[in-house]
């Protein structure tokens, strides 16, 4: 599959790599937007290992969204071989800034980095089966549902494992 183009400059929005001083803003977005929350050291651990694929979206120097990816080794979702996978760990955009292309650009920017900076052969993610807007975004960007993960989330909701072949 061909990677779609994305933009680091979406005037008035801008995508850039995460910096340590962004941590409080990213944690705040995570708390406001997602039921799955992580301690500070989790975010920093991903940043230290995969800095080029941890992106933030900002407007007027205020962070309004982020995405973070890590690399894993595993069996391909598209065949029985051992590969490097990019894993979209978390992505979120504040509600007032949704439907403006930020989520798609954060998604595609991370995919681009995983492929070209970290040599990932495919990208995987988990998404709540009730999160139709996210599922539609992923499908629009060539992700396919691989399987359902029963009771994946702490509250018992199932997740779809979705994958994209780079």
Buried b (16+ CB within 10 A) or exposed e, 107-116: bbbbbbbbbe
**Whether this model's pTM surpasses 0.85:** yes
Buried b (16+ CB within 10 A) or exposed e, 64-89: bbbbbbbbeeeebbeeeeebbbbbbb
Q: Residue 12 — very low, low, confident or very high, per pLDDT cuts 50/70/90?
A: confident
Q: Which residue has the higher pLDDT, 104 or 2?
A: 104
Q: Can you tell me whether residue 147 is helix, strand or coil?
A: strand
Per the CB < 8 A criterion, the answer to whether 89 and 70 are in contact is: yes
Domains of the chain, each with CATH number or no CATH? 9-165 (3.40.630.30)
Alpha-carbon distance of 163 to 93, in angstroms, equals 21
Both tokens of residue 166?
């780079």
Render pLDDT for 76-105 as a digit per residue (tens, 0 to 9): 999 889 999 999 999 999 999 998 889 999
């Amino acid at each position: 599959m061909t990677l779609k183009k994305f933009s680091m400059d979406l005037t008035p929005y801008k995508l850039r790599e995460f910096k340590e001083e962004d941590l409080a803003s990213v944690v705040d977005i995570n708390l406001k937007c997602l039921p799955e929350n992580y301690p500070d050291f989790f975010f920093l651990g991903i940043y230290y290992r995969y800095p080029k694929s941890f992106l933030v979206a900002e407007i007027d120097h205020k962070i309004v969204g982020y995405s973070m990816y890590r690399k894993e080794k595993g069996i391909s979702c598209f065949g029985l071989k051992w590969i490097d996978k990019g894993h979209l760990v978390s992505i979120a955009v504040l509600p007032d800034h949704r439907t403006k292309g930020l989520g798609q650009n954060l998604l595609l920017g991370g995919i681009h980095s995983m492929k070209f900076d970290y040599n990932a052969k495919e990208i995987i993610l988990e998404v709540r089966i009730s999160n139709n807007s996210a599922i539609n975004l992923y499908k629009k960007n060539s992700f396919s549902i691989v399987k359902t993960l029963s009771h994946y989330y702490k509250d018992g909701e199932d997740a779809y494992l979705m994958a994209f072949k780079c």
